[in-house]
Amino acid sequence: MSKASIRKKKKIQADRDSNKKLREMFARKKVCKFCVKKLKEADYKDATFLKNFMAESGRILPRKNTGNCAKHQRMTANAIKRSRNAGFLPFMNR
């Protein structure tokens, strides 16, 4: 083996290692729970399911944290607001 081919192999190995580190660093893209389960609408009476989309403080989590698509994020936000008004979910947790 020549020195050039050895250097080339080392470079390829270094590239593989750096790609592996990048894959470990970035998390897999989250998928919409509604699209996966093929749910048509969010039920405002199902408080346990809606709590997955709320922070401990009571705020509605954004799309990038929950993984919802835009359509289902709007639907989830409306269901949480309805649930709060109906008394199934708290407005704030202290």
16-61: pLDDT as tens digits:
666 666 666 666 777 888 888 898 888 999 999 999 999 988 899 9
Q: Is residue 65 part of a domain?
A: yes
Q: Is residue 49 part of a domain?
A: yes
Q: Which residues contact 8 (CB under 8 A, 6 or more apart)?
A: none
Q: Is residue 78 part of a domain?
A: yes
User: Residue 73 is part of a domain; what is its CATH number?
Assistant: 4.10.640.10
pLDDT-derived band of residue 74, with 50, 70 and 90 as boundaries? Answer: very high
Identify the domain containing residue 43 by its residue range: 28-86
Q: Is residue 17 part of a domain?
A: no
Q: Is residue 42 part of a domain?
A: yes
> How many domains in the chain?
1
Q: Is residue 9 part of a domain?
A: no
